[in-house]
Structure 1
Amino acid sequence: MDRLTTLMDRFQLAVLAAGPGEANLIALADAAGQPVRILYRPCGPLADPDPGAIMWAARVDWSGNSNPFLAALPSVVDYGISSNAEAQGLVRLMRDEAEGRHCGAQSVINRLGEVLMVRLLRNQIQKGATEPGLLAGLSDPRLSRAIVAMHDHPGRLWANADLAQEAGLSLSRFAELFASEVGETPMGYLRRWRLILAHQDLIRGDRVEAVARRYAYSSPEGFTRAFRKAYGVAPVSLRTAAA
């Protein structure tokens, strides 16, 4: 079971070298110049720590307006890498590419940055969450199976009983645990996930009828009502703008 790949695939991630005042991803070094911590703030630039401790800084954009994982992260993620040689190596490589201004450096930084972000997000899933949300759900080995199933197969005609079976829980226990950990019902989360994906597809120019079928709506009219309630606009307006 892969808890991150669909999220990484559906929400484009870009990593750009940035000055400390603009950066929301900062690598901090110890007195010997070794990278020891990564700080990441999903919703804006980080307050400037001790400038002498900053080894490298970047701006990360991961579709923040619609990405449900970002909304579930702490306001600042603190990822200790003092004993993680691979993460330290990634930081050094990204710094060297940025400072060396080599041909293709930005492409290298973006790909290495994606690897570093996956490691940071894995660490957050392992640590879990103290507040309800997607991170807490993905941190639970039972709920995560149901959530990944919804992420990977949003067009399936899911019922609560199907998702409870994915989780290996009774229906009542699944519903109770999901609401407690994720902060909404399984069907509520599924509807919201489908509409997030539908919004992406419409901006890309897909037809309203096709998108409605893709995400298991019984009719374009029903899909339009749900979409308008969620986003305040008719889906056809997004498709027209994309044309």
Structure 2
Amino acid sequence: MDRLTTLMDRFQLAVRAAGPGEANLIALEDPAGEPVRILYCTTDNAPELPSTTVMWAARVEWSGRRNPFLAALPDVVEYDITGNPEAHGLVRLMRDEAEGQHCGAQSVINRLGEVLMVRLLRNQIQNGATEPGLLAGLADSRLSRAIVAMHDHPGRLWTNGDLAETAGLSLSRFAQLFGTEVGETPMGYLRRWRLTLAHQDLRRGDRVESVARRYAYTSPEGFTRAFRKAYGIAPVSLRMAAA
């Protein structure tokens, strides 16, 4: 079961070298010059750091709106890479590419940055979360099966019973655990996920009727009401603005 691929495919990222004032992905080093920690700031309020501790800094930008995983992360994510030779190699190579201004350096930085971000996000899932949200749900081996199923097959006519069976839980236990860990009902989360994907598809120029059917709405009118409530704009208006 892959907890990240669908999210990474739907919300692609771009990474480029940046100064500490602009950066939101920062590698810190120890006095010996060894990388020891990665900080990823999910808001624009990056922490102030002594310049001598910054080994390398970059800016990460995500595509799409309302990335549920990004919204579930704390303001500052810390990733301890002490004794992690793979992460050390990624950071050093990204720094060397940026400083050397080699041909194709930006492409290399972008690809290596995506690898580094996947490792950072994996670490967050493994560590779990203290607050309700998607991160806490994905950290639970039972709930994650249901959440990944919703991510991978948003157009399926899911019921709570289907999702509980996928999670390997009774219906009552699934509903209680999902509410505690994720902070909303399974159907509430599924509706938000469908509308998030629908927003992306409409901005790409897909027809309203097609998008409504794709995400299990029985009529374009019902889809329009739900979309307008979520985004404050009619789906046809968003599609026309993207054309």
Q: Fold match, TM over 0.5?
A: yes
SS at match of 2:75: coil
Counterpart for residue 57 of structure 2: 57
Check whether the contact 2:64–2:200 (CA below 8 A) recurs between aligned residues: no
Distance 1:99 1:45, change over 3 A: farther
Counterpart for residue 150 of structure 1: 150
> What's the TM-score, normalizing by structure 2?
0.99
Give the counterpart letter for 2:201 in structure 1: D
Give the counterpart letter for 1:147 in structure 2: I
Deviation readout 1:165-208 (Å, 9 max, x if unpaired): 00000000000000000000000000000000000000000000
Counterpart for residue 176 of structure 2: 176
Q: How does 1:130-149 map to 2 (within 5 A)?
A: 130-149=130-149
Contiguous gaps of at least 5 residues in structure 1: none
Same amino acid, percent of matched pairs = 81
Check whether the contact 2:208–2:220 (CA below 8 A) recurs between aligned residues: yes
Deviation at 1:16, TM superposition (A): 1.0
Give distance in 2, aligned partners of 1:92 and 1:238. Answer: 42
Contiguous gaps of at least 5 residues in structure 2: none
Q: How does 1:1-243 map to 2 (within 5 A)?
A: 1-63=1-63, 65-243=65-243
Deviation at 1:65, TM superposition (A): 3.8
Distance 1:139 1:23, change over 3 A: same
Check whether the contact 2:23–2:58 (CA below 8 A) recurs between aligned residues: yes
> What's the TM-score, normalizing by structure 1?
0.99
Give distance in 2, aligned partners of 1:184 and 1:62. Answer: 25
Aligned residues: 243
Deviation readout 1:124-181 (Å, 9 max, x if unpaired): 0000000000000000000000000000000000000000000000000000000000
Give distance in 2, aligned partners of 1:109 and 1:146. Answer: 34
Give distance in 1, aligned partners of 2:64 and 2:22. Answer: 16
Deviation at 1:64, TM superposition (A): 7.0
Give distance in 1, aligned partners of 2:64 and 2:239. Answer: 21
Give distance in 1, aligned partners of 2:162 and 2:140. Answer: 18
Root-mean-square deviation (CA, aligned residues, Å) is: 0.8
